[in-house]
Amino acid sequence: MISQRARYAFKAVVALARAKPGVGLQIRELCEQEKLPRKFLEQILLMLKAAGYISSRRGRDGGYELLKPADLIYIGPMLRAVDGPIAPLSCLSRTAYRRCADCKDETHCELRIAFSQAYSVYLAALENTSLAQIMRQSDATELPSGSGLLEPTTA
């Protein structure tokens, strides 16, 4: 399950992606438009800025803007920027690997085996799904048939 911080970050990034290019959104506009609490959003925007997803300009015409086009923003790395590791077990993490303290043998660990395959599929979807893909699906009048989940693509 993703955190509330990740949910708010995702909403803010989508709003910024939908804004007119070259026109920054002020934090007040983001809060009103997406119904987000200002103090929490300020912290989130600082994290996204530090991670290189957004920039900010001060002043009357200032605001926040995306630094990358939506088709170059992938969900997995963005989630990590605000939430840290996304693996269900530290021994499966690609960015914060740590052997479990109670593990005798990773190769034969039933818990690791149980989560490994499902996590691989989940991770592939997050790593290969761009913000632009999600926005296109959201804008579509007819959603894809089946489970409603995005099919990962390689771009």
- HEC assignment per residue over 64-86: EEECCCHHHCEHHHHHHHHHCCC
Per-residue pLDDT, 61: 72
pTM summary value: 0.80
Per-residue pLDDT, 155: 46
Highest mean predicted confidence (pLDDT) among 86-95, 115-124, 136-145: 115-124
Element (H, E) at 143: none
Thinking of the domain 4-66, which architecture would CATH place it in? Orthogonal Bundle (1.10)
Alpha-carbon dihedral sign for residues 94, 95, 100, 105: positive
DSSP 25: B
The tens digit of pLDDT for each residue in 74-94 reads 999 999 999 998 888 889 988
